[in-house]
């Protein structure tokens, strides 16, 4: 797997001169939460765990910076349901259900 790189408000995997996968987030000013708003994985990387690695990168960032996450995009929300170990960084502002 290609190394995850850091950009402004995103983590991404690049190759062949283009982004092959990315996850974007924003810092919500009122709550201070990191809001994951988009995840993309190219056909070339689908099924190889790239999306999970990108979500994990945001989780690691939140832990390092003592922030909470609102997984707004459907893929990130699914990963938070799948991985109970992410509950420590799940914001009380995150949608439930």
| C-beta of residue 89 within 8 angstroms of C-beta of residue 69 | yes
User: Beta strands of the chain (E only): which ranges?
Assistant: 5-7, 10-15, 18-27, 34-41, 69-71
Inter-residue contact 24 to 37 (CB < 8 Å): yes
Domain ranges of the chain: 5-89
The pLDDT assigned to 26 comes to 97
Q: What is the mean pLDDT of each successive set of 10 residues along the chain, which is 97 residues long?
A: 87 92 96 97 95 98 98 97 97 86
- Looking at domain 5-89, its CATH superfamily turns out to be Gcn5-related N-acetyltransferase (GNAT) (3.40.630.30)
The pLDDT of residue 97: 64
* Cβ partners under 8 Å of residue 74, min gap 6: none
- Residue closest to 70 by CA, chosen among 39, 28, 40: 28
């Amino acid at each position: 797997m290609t190394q995850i790189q850091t950009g402004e408000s995103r983590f991404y995997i690049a190759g062949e001169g283009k982004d092959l996968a990315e996850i974007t987030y924003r810092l919500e000013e009122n709550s201070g939460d990191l809001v994951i708003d988009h995840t993309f994985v190219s056909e070339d990387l689908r099924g190889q765990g790239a999306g999970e690695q990108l979500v994990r990168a945001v989780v690691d960032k939140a832990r390092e910076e003592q922030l909470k996450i609102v997984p707004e995009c459907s893929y990130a929300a699914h990963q938070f349901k799948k991985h109970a170990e992410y509950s420590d960084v799940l914001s009380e502002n995150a949608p439930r259900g």
